[in-house]
Amino acid sequence: METQTSYSAFAGNRLLVTGDLRTMLTQTKEYLDQGGQEQVLIFDDDTGKQIDFNFLGSVQEVLERALPAAPRKGPGRPKIGVVSGEVTLLPAHWEWLERQPLKASGTIRRLIEAARKNETPEAQSRMRIEAAGRFMWSMAGNLVGFEEASRALYSENWTKLGELTASWPADIQKHLSRLVQKVKESKPSP
């Protein structure tokens, strides 16, 4: 089962692909197999975090390594039908799940995903600003006006952000614009 997360791969300052996991892996692997020389950086568009993949083998082999294993069923593993309307999630929970995807029980994962879907619009907006900020730090740290652009992002001054990033490479501008649009969409209506 593939997740609905969107990924973006950049070769230098050029966007290779934005799409689901299979699309991103296929096009990135094609670029690397054709002798692409620029460093490839891959981002999870929802969190802005960089992700590393082992591109040895076929696309299917890479995909199998990237996806978490299916939950094991067997004797001694009771099915727990826990339904909870309230789940308190600390940052440590998210970090643990990212580091140990195979050790998280299906029940815990379902509860956490349900809690993530029920986040307030303010929390979703804050999460999307953090994702855009992580992307900027990874890709634009040495570009002109980065510090001021970063401050404009966190203060949600979209006009100033656009002015400060106008001289940046086009693909970085477009991707940042896409991330900012997600922030605007997650804002609660006044």
pLDDT in tens, 165-174: 999 999 999 9
Same domain, 127 and 176: yes
> Is the residue at 29 inside a domain?
yes
Same domain, 60 and 23: yes
Q: What is the reported pLDDT for 156?
A: 93
CA dist list (Å): 146 to 39, 102, 128, 134, 138:
21, 38, 18, 12, 11
> Is the residue at 51 inside a domain?
yes
Any alpha helices (H) in the chain, and if so which ranges? 21-33, 59-66, 91-99, 106-117, 121-139, 146-154, 158-164, 170-186
Q: Is 188's pLDDT higher than 60?
A: yes
Q: How large is the greatest C-alpha to C-alpha distance in the chain, in angstroms?
A: 61
**pTM assigned to the model:** 0.69
Same domain, 55 and 29: yes
SS3 assignment, position 51 = strand
Same domain, 142 and 180: yes
Q: Is 61's pLDDT higher than 60?
A: yes
Considering only 1-15, 68-82, 105-119, 152-166, which range has the smallest mean pLDDT? 68-82
Same domain, 62 and 38: yes
Same domain, 51 and 25: yes
Q: What is the reported pLDDT for 66?
A: 76
> How many structural domains comprise the chain?
3
Same domain, 143 and 176: yes
Same domain, 158 and 173: yes
Cα 45 from Cα 179, distance rounded (Å):
8
Same domain, 101 and 139: no
Query: Is the pLDDT higher at 95 or at 5?
Result: 5
- Residues paired with 15 in a beta bridge: 10
Residue-wise pLDDT for 93-130, tens only, equals 666 666 665 555 666 666 666 666 667 778 888 888 99
Q: Which residue has tokens 């605007």?
A: 184
> Is the residue at 178 inside a domain?
yes
| Residue numbers of the domain that contains 12 | 7-66
Q: What is the reported pLDDT for 74?
A: 58
Per the rule left: phi > 0, alpha: psi between -120 and 50, beta: everything else, 158 is alpha
DSSP label at 157?
-
Same domain, 106 and 55: no
> Is the residue at 85 inside a domain?
no
> Is the residue at 81 inside a domain?
no
Same domain, 107 and 143: no
> Is the residue at 80 inside a domain?
no
Cα 178 from Cα 159, distance rounded (Å):
15
> Is the residue at 147 inside a domain?
yes
Per the rule left: phi > 0, alpha: psi between -120 and 50, beta: everything else, 69 is beta
Cα 37 from Cα 29, distance rounded (Å):
13
Same domain, 94 and 136: no
> Is the residue at 138 inside a domain?
yes
Cα 166 from Cα 120, distance rounded (Å):
32
Q: Is 2's pLDDT higher than 60?
A: no
